[in-house]
Structure 1
């Protein structure tokens, strides 16, 4: 027996090019955008968004670099004073309700220690880190915020991975007054401290209490978390007079007892409190693990950091004289090793992947030396000019004021510095002679690495030095909600209207929070083109999924981090400009009118189609009625002839009856014939005059009844015939599709209804063909003839209608409204089994990279211009997608704060009025630029 194999449904094969096109169609989301608020009804974020939009319309937010700091510091002092008054009123020390270390540790919530997790498969451990929490007054014997001022020697890194922050603090301590600017206000008795930090171009304040984490658990705690208090058990093996007090002094007193950062002096407190405030500002201690020294210096000074690679320094002589020798004046420097996290061999005591701060740079007796600081407070360089090396003499110790000892501070030559350290973080400081103008926007970042069609434009009223900074939001403040994409920033600066750029930055490999250039510019208008490199990290959840995960279990944590997220994104909310509103309204009007025109056309075509069918029906009706009338006339003539013949025959028979006697049977037959003749019975046949001898003859009343029935049959024939055409519903009202054009009516210019020839009888049973009821509705104002005896002029008037009444605006509005409210029709079902569906990862989770970026222009003003306004105006230049979008395109929507940035064309660049041609999107060292060269 043969086996029949049932073949599977064959898949449609595409050409290689179509396969590639289909992949890219699925790759990018059709609904780009990102959530700008994650908390419900965040009115504060909405208020800040409106304020930022108003500043952008005014040419950007312009102020002195010191203005934002002064405002934040004043607010911080006012907060501290208010808290002190409140605590004295109720006779209680201050406890921070938003960052309570003690409650968080004892409840096991760990919101102050751990960030929100955005990892799909999170296997983080719940083991405790610290063991107890106490106030400053309970820890230190004689606490002092400063002892001989904040210095680099005070800094000791704790159990948090924030060496970059410690290195930044060491660097700040070299310039007097910088750390004091961060620590604004405090009251040790109440236990409240106020600090200010710099974030995304603005200063803000942070308030904390004086609770700190300790390494060892309390004496009377049997266990902390999952660990038992083994320290007490070991401690009590020795009999002591006051075991609890001795335990506290040994394990829980002074700086050495702190779990995180600690000062070198046992009773100095500024460092651990500043670290706590910085951790609270970012949400938790875990959020400040890992970073770069330059970022920390920016956050503590409001400066701008540039990442320099040692092998990229062009003129090392200039780098020494004009930059390193100005350390602690115009610049602050940090340096680090292990660019890629891997060692390059023995570094003679220098830690791999570790940050150091540059304390001093001197050139004495031909020796170029630098003093570096390890934030660990130990671990030093062991090469030339290290402690105890042969280079040291009593004279050099005096000249450099140096003491030997493993305190983390060491000297190194400029030559060895360039050889052993791979990167430098150079931070420019800004004084009161500098002003800054800034603005923010949101961009959709395409997978292709290219310059964006959204750009910044600024006007410089006077020539001078400027620092241009392109930055993205500091996502360290909302760790866990930063999303799946990591962005690298780059830009280039053009003189307005010129193709060649003045300068450009390169994408940073490490510090991707910002990039910048410093240059002297003439007065005029300039354009800044943006280039963003997006990388998607698989296994990371988007913000909306993190919100779903934590809304129930970690409400308080999500509220705090979500607030930071909303406030950060509020400044980049895209607000529609008047020009964009005008273009959008014009586009929507065009779309509406085009839609109405399409519906009007479809409805009128349907009306013409119905009119054409109706005319054909009435024409056929008129011809059929004329034929019936002629048929009845002929039948009447035949009946009249028969009647006359019967009368003559009857007369003849009467005359014959007078002459002879007839039988009853013969007389009865003659009477029956006379009745049939008088009734006008017409027998069917070719001529209608021959009698069918096979049919039985009927006499008397029966003949009269049949004669009346025959007349009724003729009356039934007068009913207008029905149309067998099923008139469809207008397509515009169903699915919005344009119906096919109907056949033109009376194209020859003649009226078929005006002719009235007598047609041949139609085939089939006439009575059956005309007895059906019509389904097609009569046209308004048209009278349907009820009888073939009506005057032919009526039918002629009906069938001679040459025009169809136009649809009124009211009728069109109703059809449009019905069409908009009606759901779209389901797709047609295909016969046979459905084709096999293969899961597509890009359809489920397409590319949707959205970056929030801001541009800041720092410019130095002369003394006479310090109060001048409008020296720099800054704006975002976005392509007006409503003007660029054709009427056949549908707006895909950008989400909250999203913007379409994937239509980079030469015409769009020209449409901006910048006078830049298609070479705009290519760098000079891009080989593809050769294809754009015009000429021979």
Structure 2
């Protein structure tokens, strides 16, 4: 049995919620999904989630300390044991799951692992608090995270809010990070990677130390290569005995699965993870009022906002380098903004700890005087911190990451759901709805899951988010989200709103990258050799996607049940109608066959009766000739029989059946001549035409009537309807017309006008049996006519696939200041019938197609020519009216 459910990813074709996880039957995922609030969610204090996570983290650390002291051992993190991982060559703590062939292995080459007590002579977590000057980026490409830490250190106490519990003697540290709208704790041990191997494992270095006699070569080797911050492979503090930065980086790497997972990113996202704030990306070229941006935002750095800035976002990749000391494609933090003596200056920090701006106000530039050195409390030195003017800042940096901080007076609520993303990009039918009790300032954030935490299992899809805010019941939107061009994790909007209900209508675009390995391939390639790694990342995937679990509300359940009941009733009514129609058809066909048989029999008997009459006439002629009577009786008359086919179905009308053979015309002429010449003889002869000696010739009509009784005949066929018992059947033989009532055909000649009352008695048992005979309980009518061959399968068109099979989990957070807020998911009522043939696209005001959809009553003249033509037509109308009045 395979360890994993191959391909069970939300980024793959899905038909069932059970396919939205990696690990099979994970009880932790189910509990996490159940704990996510559903339905109408009330707001809570913005820091309540943080305080809860801190308490959990402290409890975990306290329990670990108690356990370690009981067994007299330092803490070893079995879930992120970097020492065994390196010694055994597994590299699970360094390398991600294979996204592509190139990214399956990182370039990290640490040589050894030691505990903090073995690296630092006098280790201290903080020395004079955590400051930006402490930060030195290591060999990991996480400058964005380092820049976020530099920015965070500007505001006193923020870094301490991240590391909330520790026991340095036991070697355990607890941190909290903000992830997917929720604070989560992470506990690590005190082991760190080093750049050099241990003395016994080194080759070149040991030979250098053993080439001459030393008192203790191994100790000297350790002091030179494995002591202090400079010996660390990854991030390090400036002070040789300060430890907070490498330990925080390790906790952040563990939270994401490995060190490679935190390579490359954006300062704003790092600030969100460290503060729980909301980051907006601002392009320098988009700033409308630079004066307002300076006064209302940059001057409030470290108060309401934290700022980072970056360069080279539109750079040519072939021109990598720096511009006057500013590195292309690199993140910096804004430490301070001041306005002194009409000078607007900002202090920036390079997280590398070196590399500075060399333009105006750089170290050693002509702008620095003793006055300004004292005024700004600045010292020269290549420590990565430098001053720059506001104008140069706007010229040299293309983007700002602005993170809004939320104090306790802000309330926040959130809600999650999962969406299927169509190929055609438009606003989604599913939306979020929030209600404000009072007028308030709000910040609305739409986010997708942070796939950095399950890197390698993300799949082939990338999503771009946007949304609009509508007042409930209004088509015109109030504001659109502020688009982030590089940070795709979230988008937001800040505005003041009146009390009431509002809708967050989302538009999400999906883009597929087929060069990335599918989730099935990643699982298949790692389930044997990297089982533990796959379990850890798979669990992170499952816990994240459990937020998108859709749970129907009571209102939705009730509406769905009512719709299903209505559908079943409609279906049963249709089946009943179908069964009645089938019975009617069977009854009609039976009666029709009987009538055909009766008509045929009546025709045969009528011909036989006519032949018998002719035979009698001939016999009478011969008898008359022998007795010397009238010899003018015509004996060459042939059977004269007419059969009509038209039968009237109305009860008060007469139907006729004319029976005629091929010689009927000759018989008519002969009979006519005989009647003209000797009417009396003919009459006498007819009177003698009896079968029993007591019947008169004019009783032939009665004879035919007697012969056509239903006791000896079947029902005749009809062409234009049915014969009811009250109808009359007319049979004309020669010139004698015989009218036979429909009832004369017997009781089995039933009236179809009463068929409905007989056939409509369809019981529930009949309907249930019909439902049970179908595949899915759905009606399947028998085909009319010959069977139709199935249509030929057309080649699949990639542009019509529905809808790339892309499913995304998204959530909305609403921060409000001055009013409580509640939020819920408003899903389309798919069970209700939709009469519209096509969904109308929800165009933005700046969509080019918006003009075509707007209609007005009367289009005003657009040009002077149009106006003149209109005036001419009006004048002509007046002239015609005056002429008509004159006439």
Name the TM tier (shorter chain). Answer: 0.7 to 0.9
Pair 475,904 (structure 1): closer, same or farther in 2 beyond 3 Å: farther
Quick one: which of 396, 399, 423 aligns to 1:447?
Answer: 423
Deviations 1:81-112 (CA, angstroms, capped at 9, x unpaired): 00000111111111112111112222322221
Quick one: which of 2, 5, 22 aligns to 1:38?
Answer: 22
- Shift in Å at residue 149 of structure 1? 1.3
- Shift in Å at residue 237 of structure 1? 4.0
- Structure 1: distance between partners of 2:103 and 2:539: 26
List aligned pairs for 1:353-432, cutoff 5 A. Answer: 353-432=329-408
Aligned residues of 1:164 and 1:293 also touching (Cα < 8 A): yes
Pair 313,620 (structure 1): closer, same or farther in 2 beyond 3 Å: closer
- Structure 2: distance between partners of 1:67 and 1:528: 24
State the SS of the aligned residue for 2:816: strand
Aligned residues of 2:602 and 2:713 also touching (Cα < 8 A): no
Which residue pairs with 2:843 in the alignment? 921
Pair 630,501 (structure 1): closer, same or farther in 2 beyond 3 Å: closer
- Shift in Å at residue 267 of structure 1? 1.4
- Shift in Å at residue 212 of structure 1? 1.2
Quick one: which of 855, 872, 876 aligns to 2:812?
Answer: 855
Aligned residues of 2:422 and 2:803 also touching (Cα < 8 A): no
Aligned residues of 1:442 and 1:850 also touching (Cα < 8 A): yes
Pair 757,884 (structure 1): closer, same or farther in 2 beyond 3 Å: closer
- Structure 2: distance between partners of 1:202 and 1:514: 14
- Shift in Å at residue 332 of structure 1? 1.0
- Structure 2: distance between partners of 1:230 and 1:839: 62
Which residue pairs with 2:709 in the alignment? none
Which residue pairs with 1:812 in the alignment? 767
- Structure 1: distance between partners of 2:14 and 2:353: 54
Pair 879,433 (structure 1): closer, same or farther in 2 beyond 3 Å: same
Which residue pairs with 1:873 in the alignment? 822
Quick one: which of 891, 905, 925 aligns to 2:840?
Answer: 905
Which residue pairs with 1:682 in the alignment? none
Which residue pairs with 1:729 in the alignment? none
Asked if residue 883 in structure 1 is aligned to residue 818 in structure 2, the reply is: no
- Shift in Å at residue 904 of structure 1? 3.9
Quick one: which of 328, 335, 343 aligns to 2:302?
Answer: 328
- Shift in Å at residue 116 of structure 1? 2.0
Deviations 1:877-915 (CA, angstroms, capped at 9, x unpaired): 2221112446x99xxxxxxxxxxxxx7438xxxxxxxxx
- Structure 2: distance between partners of 1:348 and 1:842: 48
State the SS of the aligned residue for 2:323: coil
Aligned residues of 2:96 and 2:104 also touching (Cα < 8 A): no
Aligned residues of 2:595 and 2:718 also touching (Cα < 8 A): no
- Structure 1: distance between partners of 2:480 and 2:750: 78
Quick one: which of 82, 85, 89 aligns to 1:101?
Answer: 82
Quick one: which of 278, 284, 291 aligns to 2:252?
Answer: 278
Asked if residue 301 in structure 1 is aligned to residue 275 in structure 2, the reply is: yes
- Shift in Å at residue 744 of structure 1? 10
- Structure 2: distance between partners of 1:442 and 1:563: 19
Aligned residues of 1:753 and 1:800 also touching (Cα < 8 A): no
- Shift in Å at residue 405 of structure 1? 1.0
List aligned pairs for 1:584-595, cutoff 5 A. Answer: 584-595=560-571
Aligned residues of 1:753 and 1:799 also touching (Cα < 8 A): no
- Shift in Å at residue 345 of structure 1? 8.5
Moved more, 391-400 or 603-612: 603-612
Pair 837,523 (structure 1): closer, same or farther in 2 beyond 3 Å: closer
Matched pairs, number:
729
Which residue pairs with 1:352 in the alignment? 328
Pair 884,562 (structure 1): closer, same or farther in 2 beyond 3 Å: farther
Which residue pairs with 2:507 in the alignment? 531
Asked if residue 72 in structure 1 is aligned to residue 49 in structure 2, the reply is: no
Which residue pairs with 1:687 in the alignment? none
Quick one: which of 159, 184, 189 aligns to 1:204?
Answer: 184
- Structure 2: distance between partners of 1:297 and 1:164: 9
Aligned residues of 2:13 and 2:806 also touching (Cα < 8 A): no
List aligned pairs for 1:536-935, cutoff 5 A. Answer: 536-543=512-519, 546-618=522-594, 747-750=721-724, 796-800=746-750, 802=752, 803=755, 805=759, 806-820=761-775, 847-861=804-818, 871-885=820-834, 904-905=839-840, 921-924=843-846, 926=848, 928-935=850-857
- Structure 2: distance between partners of 1:632 and 1:239: 145
Deviations 1:380-408 (CA, angstroms, capped at 9, x unpaired): 11111111111112222122111111111
Aligned residues of 2:43 and 2:820 also touching (Cα < 8 A): no
Aligned residues of 1:33 and 1:850 also touching (Cα < 8 A): no
List aligned pairs for 1:83-482, cutoff 5 A. Answer: 83-119=64-100, 124-125=104-105, 129-221=109-201, 229-342=203-316, 347-482=323-458
Structure 1 unaligned residues grouped into runs of 5+: 1-27, 223-228, 634-719, 723-742, 760-792, 862-869, 890-902, 907-919
- Shift in Å at residue 337 of structure 1? 0.2
State the SS of the aligned residue for 1:411: strand
Deviations 1:293-343 (CA, angstroms, capped at 9, x unpaired): 111111111111111111111111121122111111111111110113435
Larger RCO (alpha carbons 8 Å, 6+ apart): 1
Deviations 1:443-462 (CA, angstroms, capped at 9, x unpaired): 22333333223222222222
State the SS of the aligned residue for 1:259: coil
Aligned residues of 1:612 and 1:745 also touching (Cα < 8 A): no
Pair 543,331 (structure 1): closer, same or farther in 2 beyond 3 Å: same
- Structure 2: distance between partners of 1:105 and 1:243: 25
Pair 238,492 (structure 1): closer, same or farther in 2 beyond 3 Å: farther
- Shift in Å at residue 218 of structure 1? 2.0
State the SS of the aligned residue for 2:825: strand
- Structure 2: distance between partners of 1:745 and 1:141: 114
Aligned residues of 1:61 and 1:439 also touching (Cα < 8 A): no
Which residue pairs with 2:34 in the alignment? 50
Deviations 1:643-676 (CA, angstroms, capped at 9, x unpaired): xxxxxxxxxxxxxxxxxxxxxxxxxxxxxxxxxx
- Structure 1: distance between partners of 2:726 and 2:81: 96
- Structure 1: distance between partners of 2:812 and 2:795: 44
TM-score (norm 1): 0.71
Aligned residues of 1:627 and 1:758 also touching (Cα < 8 A): no
- Shift in Å at residue 747 of structure 1? 2.9
- Structure 1: distance between partners of 2:14 and 2:21: 21
Aligned residues of 1:453 and 1:879 also touching (Cα < 8 A): yes
Aligned-residue Cα RMSD (Å) equals 3.9
- Structure 2: distance between partners of 1:516 and 1:125: 35
Deviations 1:821-857 (CA, angstroms, capped at 9, x unpaired): 699999999999x989867556889623323222222
State the SS of the aligned residue for 1:221: coil
- Shift in Å at residue 161 of structure 1? 0.6
List aligned pairs for 1:503-522, cutoff 5 A. Answer: 503-522=479-498
Aligned residues of 2:125 and 2:242 also touching (Cα < 8 A): yes
Which residue pairs with 2:667 in the alignment? none
- Shift in Å at residue 250 of structure 1? 2.0
State the SS of the aligned residue for 1:96: coil
Which residue pairs with 2:478 in the alignment? 502
